[in-house]
Amino acid sequence: MTSKKRIVALAAVLVITGIIIGLAISSNFNFQSDGYTSDVAISQEAIDILSKTNHAITEVAAAVKPSVVNISSTKTIRVPGMSLPFFNDPFFKRFFGDEFGFSRGPKEFKQSGLGSGVIVDKNGYILTNNHVIRGADEIKVKLPDNRDFKGKVIGTDPKTDLAVVKIDADDLPVIKFGDSDKLKVGEMVLAIGNPFGLNQTVTTGIVSATGRANVGVADYEDFIQTDAAINPGNSGGALVNIRGELIGINTAIFSTTGGYQGIGFSIPSNMAKSVMKSLIKEGKVVRGWFGISIQEITPELAKQFGLEHEKGVLVGDVIEDSPAEKAGIQRGDVIIEYNGREVKDVTGLRNMVSSTLPGKEVIIKIIRDRREKTARIKISEMPEEMQKIAGEYENLLNGVHVQNIDPMTRKELGIPEKIRGVIVTDVEPGSPAFHILGKGDVIIEINRKSIRNVNDYSSIVSSIPSGENILLLIYRNGSTIYLTLSKG
Q: Where are the beta strands (DSSP E) in 194-231?
A: 201-212, 223-226
Q: Is the overall model pTM greater than 0.85, yes or no?
A: no
Of residues 307 and 449, more confidence is placed in: 449
Question: Which CATH code for domain 288-381?
Answer: 2.30.42.10
| DSSP-based three-state secondary structure for 212 | strand
Could you report the per-residue pLDDT of 439-486, keeping only the tens digit for each? 899 999 999 999 988 878 888 888 888 778 999 999 998 899 999 888
Which among 155, 151, 164 is positioned nearest to 120, based on CA atoms?
Answer: 164
- ∠ CA(428), CA(434), CA(438), 5° rounding? 90
Note whether 434 and 441 are within 8 A (CB): no
Q: How far apart are the C-alpha atoms of 326 and 122, rounded to whole Å?
A: 44
Mean pLDDT of 4-24: 48
Beta strands in 10-161 (DSSP E): 29-32, 35-38, 68-79, 107-119, 125-129, 138-142, 148-150, 152-157
Res 456: pLDDT = 84
Instruction: Please tell me the predicted confidence (pLDDT) of residue 35.
Output: 55
* Best mean pLDDT range from 96-100, 108-112, 127-131: 127-131
Q: 31 - beta bridge partners?
A: 36
Contact between 410 and 392 under an 8 Å Cβ cutoff? The reply is no
Q: Is the pLDDT of residue 384 over 80?
A: no
Residues 107 and 81 sit within 8 Å (Cβ to Cβ): yes
Measured CA to CA in angstroms, residue 246 lies from 178, 189, 260, 268, 346 at distances of 5, 10, 22, 9, 26
Length of the chain: 488
149 has pLDDT over 90? yes
Determine the pLDDT at residue 42.
86
Can you tell me the distance from the alpha carbon of 385 to that of 410, in angstroms, rounded to the nearest whole number? 13
Q: Span 418-432, mean pLDDT?
A: 86
pLDDT reported for residue 231: 83
Is 366 in a helix, a strand, or coil? Answer: strand
Residue 288 CB partners (closer than 8 Å, separation 6+): 353, 354, 355, 356, 357, 358, 360, 379, 380, 381, 382
Separation between Cα atoms, residue 90 and residue 318, nearest integer Å: 64
* Better-predicted residue by pLDDT, 424 or 17: 424
Fold of 384-485: Pdz3 Domain (2.30.42)
pLDDT for position 14? 47
Residues labelled catalytic = 131, 161, 235
Q: Which fold has domain 52-286?
A: Thrombin, subunit H (2.40.10)
